Amino acid sequence: MEKGAKIFVAGHQGIIGEALVRRLREDGHTNLLLRTSPELNLLDQKAVSYFFSTYKPEYVFLAAGKVGGILANSTYPAEFIYINLQIQNNVIHCAFESGVKKLLFLGSPCMYPKFCQQPMKEEYLLTGPIEPTNEPYAIAKIAGVKMCQSYNRQYGTNFMPVIPADVYGTNDDFSDSGHVVPSLIRRFHEAMTNGSNSITLWGTGKPRREFLYADDLSEALIFLMDVYDGSEIINVGTGYDTSVAELARSIKKMVGFDGKIIYDKTKPDGMPRRLLDVSRITSLGWRPKTGLVEGLELTYAWYKQCKMSNKDS
């Protein structure tokens, strides 16, 4: 991407979009097109069409969507399928119509089959049934991948489907609707400050997950936008996973919580394991820089800082 190229980051206030914008600016990109959802509702086809035909972005990072953990996915399945399908339909189609040079679409590891062979290679997509708790979200995301690939095949566009591991970092959603890392950080922090004796977590603690720091992902996405052309999916991860129980123990230690961790085994675990095979992106020359402990500390520091500034204001 040329330094003055017009780059639209859809979802620039989200965890991934915010890290992307920070990184693009650090890299000297000056012509970023950024819109909040009240300024440009990506569910509104006419508004999206007007935006693309008027501003003519050259590159698009599609980092907008409805995102959440297992609780949110189970509670709002209709929103997860509708919002993600609608946003990607509008953005991908209008990107084609307005002649965008390259678009990067973000999929999710939960698109792979529930009992997928590990680590999950890109070609394992659609080789088995999906974990039911996140099926509506995963089906929408699979449609997005197929849309990129179909537009490339029929119209010769350059739309790239990328599957990142579970992302965490600054600017995350620390509420109960969020993903496992931010919600555990908040819950352990609150348990520690309230002097609680125990904390109860959903499931058995046995599922294994791969966590990628958002700043590492943003670097990978810009790298792919620069060096990669093609319809083949690219996984982006660390190549290492950890169990939810190990993650919880690390966060407990980091936060300084002395109480007990209890597992509510009546609650669902989700996919048993989610580890991406990262040989494709590794062979292109990219590797992450931030280890899990370091990433958790940076995220916790940001969370505490935000709490302090909210208190002050």
Ligand X SMILES: NC(=O)c1ccc[n+]([C@@H]2O[C@H](COP(=O)([O-])OP(=O)(O)OC[C@H]3O[C@@H](n4cnc5c(N)ncnc54)[C@H](OP(=O)(O)O)[C@@H]3O)[C@@H](O)[C@H]2O)c1
Interacting residues toward ligand X by CB under 6 A: 11, 13-17, 36-37, 41-43, 63-65, 67, 106, 108, 164, 166-167, 173, 179
Task: Please state whether 195 falls in left (phi above 0), alpha (psi between -120 and 50) or beta.
Answer: left
Least distance to ligand X, CB of residue 16, Å:
3
Q: Beta-carbon neighbour count of residue 233 at 10 Å?
A: 20
Instruction: State which residue, 36 or 279, has the beta carbon closest to ligand X.
Output: 36
Least distance to ligand X, CB of residue 216, Å:
12
Query: Residue 150: enclosing H or E segment and its boundaries?
Result: helix 135-155
Distance CA 182, CA 295 (A): 12
Dihedral sign, Cα of residue 17, residue 20, residue 22, residue 24: negative
Q: Are 243 and 274 in contact (CB under 8 A)?
A: no
Instruction: State which residue, 211 or 257, has the beta carbon closest to ligand X.
Output: 211
Distance CA 313, CA 310 (A): 5
Catalytic residues: 137
Distance CA 179, CA 304 (A): 18
Instruction: State which residue, 191 or 203, has the beta carbon closest to ligand X.
Output: 203
Dihedral sign, Cα of residue 271, residue 77, residue 218, residue 2: positive
Least distance to ligand X, CB of residue 187, Å:
18
Least distance to ligand X, CB of residue 200, Å:
23
Three-class SS of residue 61? Answer: strand
Instruction: State which residue, 142 or 199, has the beta carbon closest to ligand X.
Output: 142
Q: How far apart are the first and last CA of the chain?
A: 40
Instruction: State which residue, 163 or 201, has the beta carbon closest to ligand X.
Output: 163
Residue nearest to ligand X (CB): 14
Least distance to ligand X, CB of residue 197, Å:
31
Distance CA 288, CA 292 (A): 11
Instruction: State which residue, 140 or 261, has the beta carbon closest to ligand X.
Output: 140
Q: Are 163 and 276 in contact (CB under 8 A)?
A: yes
Q: Are 88 and 48 in contact (CB under 8 A)?
A: no
Q: Are 103 and 92 in contact (CB under 8 A)?
A: yes
Q: Residue 48 corresponds to which amino acid?
A: V
